[in-house]
Amino acid sequence: MKYFILFGPPGAGKGTHAAPMAKKYNLKHLSTGELLRAEIAEGTELGLKAKELIDGGNLVPDEVVEGMIAKAFGKYRDVAGFLLDGFPRTVTQAYDLKEMLEARDEEVTAVISLMIPDELIKERIAGRAKIEGRADDAKPEVIENRIRTYHEKTEPLIALYRDEGIYHEVDSVGTIAEVEERVSRTVAEILAKA
Ligand code: ATP
Ligand code: MG
């Protein structure tokens, strides 16, 4: 199985670019953000607990997202692999993912990192707020907190995956079509070497 990680700050376009990539390579797209929003929409206990953290721009506990990921790994068997979007987001999650995969005799195939400056993140999220109506997109201070959280807790993963030689950057500034083309070329290069 292939295990791709689509990496990047909030609003980098992970969800946008995950969809065509998952389709093209028969990967199951797993977005922890979307899974959490589904729990909230269903009003589950997990959703109720997560909502407050998400709406404040904070991460939910590692074990919560890890539980959702582990469940999904067990559930989808008829695929060529998985496309992880928004996971891992902390060093602990990255190590725990490594263990989860090792237990299945698998490993992360590659990390594709969508690069975008902080100023553009704010612009894109403000635009998306009007369309999608997400509570965590509505307040500037929440967006600031998400960007800060990304730099503090998530960005350290770059060094980790770079050391493993599986880290690839894609410039996410441009039209959706332009970025999609860059992502597509990067995936093709990775698969050609695999
Ligand atoms: P993008 O716009 O690129 O899809 P995002 O950060 O705007 O990214 P989601 O990935 O949908 O949005 O995440 C929304 C929220 O869900 C996060 O701010 C966080 O509270 C929670 N969340 C999602 N994934 C994780 C994770 N791996 N660990 C902890 N919390 C998470
Ligand atoms: Mg997303």
* Chain segment 73-85, per-residue pLDDT in tens: 999 989 999 999 9
The verdict on residue 99 lying in a domain is yes
Active site residue 104: no
| Cα 193 to middle of ligand 1, angstroms | 31
Neighbours of 150 (CB within 10 A): 19
The closest ligand to the CA of 49 turns out to be 1
Ligand 1 site, residue 146, Cβ cutoff 6 A: yes
- In three-state secondary structure terms, 4 is strand
Tens digit of each residue's pLDDT (9 = 90 or more) over 43-63: 999 999 999 999 999 999 999
Q: Is the CB of 10 under 6 A from ligand 1?
A: yes
How far is Cα 115 from Cα 171, in angstroms, rounded to an integer?
A: 5
Question: Which residue's C-alpha comes closest to atom 13 of ligand 1?
Answer: 33
pTM of this structure: 0.95
Distance of alpha carbon 65 from the chain centroid: 11
C-alpha 94 to ligand 1 mean position (Å): 15
DSSP 152: I
pLDDT in tens, the chain (194 residues): 999 999 999 999 999 999 999 999 999 999 999 999 999 999 999 999 999 999 999 999 999 999 999 999 999 989 999 999 999 999 999 999 999 999 999 999 999 999 999 999 999 999 999 999 999 999 999 999 999 999 999 999 999 999 999 999 999 999 999 999 999 999 999 999 87
For residue 67, being part of any structural domain is answered with no
Give distance in angstroms: CA of 11 to centre of ligand 2: 7
Around 54, how many Cα atoms within 13 Å sit in the side-chain half-sphere?
22
The answer to whether residue 62 is domain-embedded is no
**How do the residues of the chain divide into helix, strand and coil, expressed in percent and rounded to 5?**
60, 15, 25
Report d(CA 80, CA 183) in Å as an integer.
18
User: Which residues constitute the domain of residue 137?
Assistant: 2-29+78-193
In a domain, 59, yes or no: no
Give catalytic status of residue 24 as yes or no. no
* Within a domain: 36: no
- How is the beta sheet containing 81-85 ordered, strand by strand? 27-31, 81-85, 2-7, 110-115, 167-171
Q: Look up the CATH number of the domain holding residue 187.
A: 3.40.50.300
CB within 8 Å of 21: residues ≥ 6 apart: 4, 6, 27, 83, 183, 184, 187
Q: How many angstroms separate the CA atoms of 7 and 85, rounded?
A: 7
* 49 falls within a domain: no
Question: Looking at this protein, which amino acid is placed at residue 29?
Answer: H
Tokens of 102: 């090792």
Atom of ligand 1 nearest to the CA of 85: 10
What are the start-end ranges of the E strands in 8-121?
27-31, 81-85, 110-115
Instruction: Give the number of domains in the chain.
Output: 1
Specify whether 14 is catalytic: yes
Return the ligand 1 atom nearest residue 150 CA: 6
Rg (the chain; Cα; Å): 16
